[in-house]
Amino acid sequence: MSQPTGTAIPPRERLIFALDVDGPERARQLVETLGDSVVFYKVGLELFMAGGYFELVDWLVARGKKVFVDLKFFDIPQTVAGAVKRLSGRGVTFATVHGNDGIVEAACRAKGDLKILAVTVLTSLDEGDMRDLGFETDISSLVLSRARRALALGCDGVVSSGREVRAIKREVGDGLAVVVPGIRPGSNRPTDDQKRTVDVEEAFELGADYIVIGRPIRDAEDPRAAAEAIQQRIAAFFAGRSSGTPEAPA
């Protein structure tokens, strides 16, 4: 189980950049461009299918970066356990699992030095999508149920929309780290496939431990400046919280 989070996480590690590009060469170029503005990288399915995935993971770790392997392992428990075991000892920080209790429990038994994150409900899904999938329950109830089970099964954290973070923290306290994707730094709602989004400060005010941001940094005219601007907002938020006086974002 994860240790209590809170202020123990260095502010600059709270931003996880989604390295969703079409190949490892472009990924390396972007990492070099971002420099020290990003410490933590999420490496997902698109890069996995492009080839050279684990070489890229090792390259990131060798440069002192933290790595979040976001492959959402979902298969029979024995296969998931084997996949997780292959990641252990590689210097990876987080890996995601998406499945029932047997799958999640198998991943947790095999995790070694990894931290396992259980996916609750993808941020691209809304209530209508859940009905299409056959879930006759509201998203909040399903997220809370999965968070409770994740804690009981030995997970270190969950991936959740910012809209459910407060309820998760109320339910499990600091027993689980909460990673929030679908962050949109501006005031405009997204025109992409994300539906349940929140802003940077809103996510942390609700109780998020980490936020995942991709397109708003990757597609910016100056990705490094965009990442640094978000880092300044995070730093200001936590500086204000530690002093008891919230500060305005930079």
Please pick, among 72, 85, 115, 195, the residue that the annotation labels catalytic. 72
CA dihedral 208, 237, 215, 190 (to 10 degrees): 80
Closest among 2, 1, 12, 122 to 66, alpha carbons compared:
12
**Active-site residue, 195 included:** no
Active site residues: 72
